[in-house]
């Protein structure tokens, strides 16, 4: 029943990740015990820690949790410690679908804008690059949101996609 509503490709991806989890877990026999669901959950936490350390993508961890839960016929939500690590990982990993531009690309784009006399745009491009701003954030940016401080700039982004989820204010500090 869990698999209903999921594409065959997605299920296959989950099961491949679960297989990778299992193979890595059993290769470490001394610390692997699959006699209880709690033991599987603890092994999943170790797998996620290892995946993070080895530079794998966070999607592998999520797929492994979903695939293992599907095979064990337990809710994926029951892997609470694993999901906590995944959330932490997601906060510290840049999105793979939208890698940031290189410094050279940002400088070239800003230089082109400045050459055309569009100094505000040049500044916004450099600011967006430095602060990893989303397109909507830097397009809506107004001068009042940028304050010059002793050794840098403070950028008040107001409400962003991130603050809408977690609350609070989004500020960036740029040291010059």
Q: pLDDT tens digits for 157-169? A: 777 666 666 666 6
Give the separation between CA 128 and CA 150, rounded to whole angstroms.
21
170: which strand partners?
Answer: 158
Average pLDDT over residues 111-137: 88
End-to-end CA distance of the chain: 56
User: Residue 120 — pLDDT band, cuts 50, 70, 90?
Assistant: confident
Q: Are 25 and 32 in contact (CB under 8 A)?
A: yes
* pLDDT mean across residues, the chain: 81
pTM reported for the whole predicted model: 0.51
| pLDDT tens, residue by residue, 20-73 | 888 887 776 455 566 788 888 988 998 999 888 888 889 999 999 999 998 888
pLDDT at 1: 47
């Amino acid at each position: 029943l869990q698999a209903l509503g999921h594409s065959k490709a997605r299920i296959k991806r989950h099961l491949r990740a679960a297989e990778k989890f299992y193979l890595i877990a059993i290769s470490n026999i001394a610390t692997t015990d699959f006699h209880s669901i709690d033991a599987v959950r603890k092994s999943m936490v170790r797998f996620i820690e290892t995946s993070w350390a080895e530079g794998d993508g966070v999607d592998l961890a999520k797929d492994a949790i979903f695939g293992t839960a599907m095979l064990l016929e337990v809710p994926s939500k029951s892997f609470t410690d694993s999901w906590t690590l995944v959330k932490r990982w997601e906060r510290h990993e840049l999105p793979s679908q939208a890698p940031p531009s290189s410094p050279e690309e940002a400088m070239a784009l800003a230089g082109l804008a400045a050459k055309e006399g569009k100094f505000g745009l040049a500044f916004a491009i450099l600011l967006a690059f430095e602060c990893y701003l989303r397109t909507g954030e830097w397009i809506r940016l107004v001068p009042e949101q940028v304050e010059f401080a002793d050794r840098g700039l403070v950028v008040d982004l107001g409400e962003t996609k991130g603050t809408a989820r977690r609350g609070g204010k989004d500020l960036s500090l740029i040291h010059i």
